[in-house]
Amino acid sequence: MAVAAAICLGVALFGRGWTLRGAALLGSILLLGVTFANTDQSLLRLFSGESLRGRMVLWQGTLDLMNGPQYITGLGLGYWPWAYNDGIVRTGFTHPHNAYVQLYSDTGVIGLLALALALVVSAHLAWKVLRQGRGHPYFGLAVGIVLATVVTLAVGVVEAAPTGIPVVAKEAYHYVISPAAFLLGGMLVVLHRLGLEGAGEASKEGGLRSTS
């Protein structure tokens, strides 16, 4: 919901048309309200340092697990709870509460390098889109996507959800890959292409006017 709220906020600030901006602002406020209502206790424990201390134990334990050849390729997708709990999946310890530590345990250094490359490419696309300013046909949406990406990266420090989501039942365990990063990256690519097409059409119109 925080990701959707960030996208709506970008549209509210830089969208085209007051009706669209007003609706986006209302949507952003509602989504943020629901988000805070569902996470208020967790946020209080986080800012007080209580949950952060607990998370640091999980992070250190994960790094200890990676002391070996597995640091290159990782433990395997979703294998963290099995390795951390000595082969017993406990509902209380299903992920390390950090998307980057989770990615490291899933895919090792190879995954971290892939993430770094994806961030460089995404930052380059975002820069090219945002530098066009309001001349870009979907500038407000582009700002929202960039804000949502920043929010996702920030949330990833204390939650594993931006990378993967463990689903644990009494006798079952499933690891669901989160699509958030892929969707945001794909939207940046689409917005970049739309900006190129818009610039091309504008240049053609300018050329026609100059010849006429």
Residues 11, 197: Cα–Cα separation, whole Å: 21
pLDDT at 90: 64
pLDDT at 203: 42
Report the chain (212 residues): mean pLDDT per 10 consecutive residues: 88 88 93 82 74 86 87 86 78 81 91 92 88 80 91 88 73 75 87 69 46 49
- What is the reported pTM? 0.81
176's enclosing H/E stretch is: strand 173-177
Contact assessment for residue 163 and residue 180, using Cβ atoms and an 8 Å cutoff: no
Residues 6+ apart with CB under 8 A from 74: 66, 104, 105, 106, 107, 108, 110, 111
pLDDT at 86: 80
Domains in the chain: boundaries: 49-211
Residues 55, 97: Cα–Cα separation, whole Å: 6
3-state secondary structure of 68: coil
